Amino acid sequence: MQTYLLNWNPRRTVWTELSDEVARSRQGLVVHRRWSTGGTKRINPGDRVFLIKQVVEPKGIIASGIVTTLYSVRRTGAIEANKRTT
């Protein structure tokens, strides 16, 4: 198992479900969330991930999880980008 650091910049991506997902997590429920890993193809199911919030205070590691599913999204210009679900 490998460990990776994913990032979130709230100025670039709005996370409208954040409050609901935090509440579910605090209740002990599992929260599934898709997150881009850029172009890397090294992340696999079972790998550990941490999510760091950047740019907007409070900054720092705000979540952790285990990769459960791999998925791909076709982007404009037919560029295939690897995505991972945590």
What is the average pLDDT across 53-82? 79
Q: What is the pLDDT of residues 5-22, one digit of tens each?
A: 999 999 999 999 999 999
What is the average pLDDT across 36-54? 91
pTM for the whole thing? 0.78
What is the average pLDDT across 44-63? 96
pLDDT (0 to 100) of residue 74: 61
Helix H, strand E, coil C: the string for the chain is CCEEEEEECCCCCCCCCHHHHHHHHHCCCCCCCEEECCCCCCCCCCCEEEEEECCCCCCEEEEEEECCEEEEEEECCCEEEEEEEC
pLDDT (0 to 100) of residue 40: 84
Whether the pLDDT of residue 77 is over 60: the answer is: no
